[in-house]
A and B are shown apart, each in its own frame.
Chain A
Amino acid sequence: GEKVEQHESTLSVREGDSAVINCTYTDTASSYFPWYKQEAGKSLHFVIDIRSNVDRKQSQRLIVLLDKKAKRFSLHITATQPEDSAIYFCAASSDSNYQLIWGSGTKLIIKP
């Protein structure tokens, strides 16, 4: 079945720099790729998604890139701020299998 891998378990960047979190997937039929954020001790909430009909999407400081050939997608956070510190989860689903398959999470630390 589909697998989604997040390659960095922890990522540390200096405040103001950009952070990049990478995910890969195995199912070529995957068509929907959301990202969720979990702040310390809290629940998960949606931050941004991308669908397979585009290769780039931006929402304010968040950019998602999708490389279907490499089966890779990434979350770019520009001009990082302390409140960006959290665990970020990627996920994928396909039109044939509606279940979201989750990555294991990347803990992003923003250093002052």
Chain B
Amino acid sequence: EAAVTQSPRNKVAVTGGKVTLSCNQTNNHNNMYWYRQDTGHGLRLIHYSYGAGSTEKGDIPDGYKASRPSQENFSLILELATPSQTSVYFCASGDAGGSTEVFFGKGTRLTVV
């Protein structure tokens, strides 16, 4: 069973603070993704990666950084968190090529106060 694990599952952060969201996959997938989900916007791609050491900007990268130190791990970093980054964040993994099933983690609910 494909597995994508996100931590933490819930996080309250203060404005201006640093937040790191972690994601681990045991699928041996090359591609990993970070999305945020907001009501009325569906899923929006923040950053993605094709493999260890690679990070690419998605559709809404401003205010976020990503790190892919290994095949299994992909982190999303908010250096200076703002209330507008309050959202639910999903990590996902998939085989290279994009035309195959993508597996999602359970999500992280981030509240920036």
Contact = CB atoms under 8 A, between A and B. Distances in A.
Nearest to A4: B42
B40 A100 contact: no
Contacts of B41: 104
B90 A32 contact: no
**What bracket does the count of chain B residues touching chain A fall in?**
20 to 34
A25 interface: no
Contact of A98 (B42, B58, B98, B101): B98
B102 A42 contact: no
Nearest to A105: B42
Contacts of A100: 98, 102
A100 B92 CA distance: 12
Interface in A72-99: 89, 93, 95, 97-99
Nearest to A9: B40
Interface stretch (B60-68, B69-77, B78-86, B103-111): B103-111
**What bracket does the count of chain A residues touching chain B fall in?**
20 to 34
Contacts of B90: 43-44
Contacts of A44: 43, 90, 104
A22 interface: no
Given A43-B90, A99-B48, A104-B41, A32 B99 contact: yes
A71 interface: no
Most buried by B among A45, A100, A103, A105: A100
Interface of B: 31, 40-45, 48, 58, 90, 96-99, 101-107
Given A42-B106, A102-B42, 5 more contacts: A43-B90, A46-B101, A46-B102, A103-B42, A104-B42
